[in-house]
Structure 1
């Protein structure tokens, strides 16, 4: 990352004091909902709120919902919609609008939303008249129910279109132009896959700056809270062909905490030609991400296909100051899936580039067994080697690219297909590496494969060059013997020089 960009990040001090709702005043035509009493908002407002929370025991938000909303199923909840024209800034021609989201279904925890303009912050107050409840019949007087999160929209030639949704714990989603939503990011994860069980931090409050018409940038602050940790966040959102979200955060440990997950993301993966978990499914494959891409601190490009496993699998890729990682969707044709409704080929890739040095740690990958594509069963995150002592703080920053293809790509051939199946007592794998280097028939024919298995034995290695595909397909067999697993590693070389990224995979019996 350029030095100027790094200085911009480090020059920012997060902060905040919680804003209480008051009289119904307004900042211009900021919202359909009424707004609370204006209070000053400064650069350190959210950080002060995080420090204040960290000094006291954790207390979960307590705001009961009417039983009508707390017991909703998904379809009932989805029927609750904003009244057309009720979005915040819908008529202000600032390039963005906001839709506070109703509470209900699994989104019952209240989240406060505030609007910042001219150095003043005002809380958005719930107004039932801004929602269409469909067939639901809410009571006439419900009071201020608050919100479960917010939807961010940007203006386009086709009207306002979704850019991002922040809703549920510290989860949020975004996408590039022309994509569907898919992979989900998290502000912070704690003890994912570890005992005594995962802790889910939540965003208690958001502050959103009213943008200027020419900025094409939306800035939002968030206050994170959990039993172990508080945090102050600033998100800078720039929706272009690729949506870029710069994330700056300061974490404060309420108690001694380790097993933190930074830059965490989740995706759904049901089956593919690599695992054949659904042989009778009418679709060719179902997944939001093909695999985990890592650009290590030493500059090595690693590719780890993900899979739907029979048992929980946790993989850790040790690194020092990683340069990039993400869950990547490399399958971009309808024929890869044949799913007219799911359209998995339109799901976003999420690529993260750390700002500054993150030190020692590992890229942690969890593959969780799943029987439905509705389960986000693939989890990737950076796990710092060292935890945080009670009362200490730590600041980190990174840039997210919600995109079709990451801006940083291997200068080598990349894996475009991984398949596996059983041949007698052996496990057969086919791995196709594609790149311009293999458009040269001589270089493709000269390619050699370095394949390692630990434990187990690799046998019957064959390479098939395809000039028209600019690829070399590697077919090899694994003889696992009585071993229940094997860590596989494959690279292609030409003239003793690396010609492909490094393919990694864990086979399990």
Structure 2
């Protein structure tokens, strides 16, 4: 499952500090090897285009009709009873790359006061979507979008973006299949979410259902409610997104309360709820992967999981040599997400794509999802323009034709780590040659793994506090282990492990910090890190 995309810098105002990358989403295709040359590669944003006069032509709408969540669910249920029809390419899909940019970022009228449209574009997002404006329980369908594109040009919408109050930037966007994203708390796009994942990480083609219709209700400058109809070969769905942008404080970022009702046309081997896609090329832990002068390049650096049992898990992301899948037990899951914990600019040195500002995405199930697993899928990549990471939750209950299923959850797009709590977190990791620096190397294929932890449970502890690193490595694989406080860094502890990969019986091992009291009792001090040992 690879999504090729475009890293494009969208100006947020006129200063370099205000720039934001607005690489958008793929249209349809195979997740195994999707070639996506993004719509926005050429655009430098609003500031790059001349300000044009407001178009004289006005958009046209159908008469208002009653609209509700119940009516949308009925529509999705009825649609599932009929065979799937593949969407056609818009006859007005724009072929010229420059024209796409001008239609997207040129000065034009907004829909409902804060929504601007993406035009259908050949080769990237060729399928038009239906749009409706909702007010007071009634919806008006957009029949003619002229006036909503520069110069009153005739074009079909393929998606939309929600603008800030000053209309200078956008904080949320939907475009292509069931993809959407939000800019988080630092005005920066990064990873993406999807409505649903169908047969991801299986030895067959992945299916990409699409949002085909949207109902948009403007509830204020930083509050919009979006309903969407999903359609695909195996299922249909009704979706509701209650979306809020908060500028500052503990809740800074974007939250989306999501409700989904799904109806299955046929059996689905793997149904992934609340899927997230991201990009990881390399970080400081593996310099051999580096193909660029920048020290690190990634949208996310790890998968975090809060299981129903209360265990906290952290899986550092890697760029594997072959496709890899982790299935993490997550019965009654409390939360999971792909996070960007490392937010130091000097670790990336990128003053255009701003990887240090990329948001994390945390999923909070509303209600009990039951027994299931969180799956992490990783593919090899050699470029930052390819999404190669996916995470989603899979129920133990199979999805069978004729059944229906509902999910409710909250999405938190934020730069504040949602896993901060009473346990210590893994905040950095490295790999290198085993042995003591400067000494003659020991076993030739042995590797040193280094992990740094921070958190309130570690403050005040010393080398005499009974803190050790607990692992599931067998004795023949663990050549040396140490855990100690980092000098001059309050509450920061380091674990070093010399590991013989050939003696490790699994593709990864587990590690956490624990404290043993004088009476023999044990206390877990940190989240559990699941570290891969195979390239």
Please confirm whether the aligned pair reaches a TM-score higher than 0.5, indicating the same fold: yes
- Is 1:89 the counterpart of 2:148? The answer is no
Q: Deviations over 1:420-461 (max 9, x none)?
A: 123421011100111233331536853211122379711111
Calculate the aligned-residue CA RMSD, in Å.
2.4
2:90–2:120: 8 Å Cα contact kept in structure 1?
no
C-alpha displacement of 1:153: 1.8
Report SS of the residue matched to 1:62.
Answer: coil
Q: Which residue of 2 aligns with 1:80?
A: 103
Distance in 2 (alpha carbons) for counterparts of 1:101 and 1:248: 25
Q: Deviations over 1:376-399 (max 9, x none)?
A: 111000011122221111111000
Distance in 1 (alpha carbons) for counterparts of 2:469 and 2:92: 63
- Is 1:466 the counterpart of 2:477? The answer is no
Provide TM-score, normalisation by structure 1: 0.85
Give the gaps of 5 or more residues in structure 2: 1-56, 247-251, 435-443, 517-521
Q: Which residue of 2 aligns with 1:152?
A: 162
Instruction: Work out the number of aligned pairs and report it.
Output: 458
2:108–2:150: 8 Å Cα contact kept in structure 1?
no
Distance in 2 (alpha carbons) for counterparts of 1:178 and 1:45: 37
> How do residues 90-489 of structure 1 correspond to structure 2 at under 5 angstroms?
90=113, 97-104=114-121, 105-132=123-150, 145-155=155-165, 159-211=167-219, 216-240=222-246, 241-279=252-290, 281-423=292-434, 424-442=444-462, 446-453=466-473, 457-469=477-489, 470-481=491-502, 486-489=507-510
- Is 1:490 the counterpart of 2:511? The answer is yes
Distance in 2 (alpha carbons) for counterparts of 1:107 and 1:444: 61
2:104–2:149: 8 Å Cα contact kept in structure 1?
yes
Distance in 1 (alpha carbons) for counterparts of 2:259 and 2:374: 20
Q: Deviations over 1:451-494 (max 9, x none)?
A: 22379711111223125322111111111237696321111112
Question: CA separation of 1:204/1:409 partners in 2, compared to 1, >3 Å: closer, same or farther?
Answer: same
Q: Deviations over 1:75-114 (max 9, x none)?
A: 6633432542511233xxxxxx111211114111111110
Distance in 2 (alpha carbons) for counterparts of 1:172 and 1:284: 28
Distance in 1 (alpha carbons) for counterparts of 2:478 and 2:99: 53
Distance in 2 (alpha carbons) for counterparts of 1:242 and 1:459: 44
1:453–1:486: 8 Å Cα contact kept in structure 2?
no
Question: CA separation of 1:132/1:378 partners in 2, compared to 1, >3 Å: closer, same or farther?
Answer: same
Moved more, 300-309 or 100-109: 100-109
Give the gaps of 5 or more residues in structure 1: 1-30, 91-96, 134-139
C-alpha displacement of 1:266: 0.7
Q: Which residue of 2 aligns with 1:501?
A: 527
Distance in 2 (alpha carbons) for counterparts of 1:505 and 1:389: 35
1:36–1:125: 8 Å Cα contact kept in structure 2?
yes
Moved more, 347-356 or 398-407: 398-407
Question: CA separation of 1:65/1:477 partners in 2, compared to 1, >3 Å: closer, same or farther?
Answer: farther
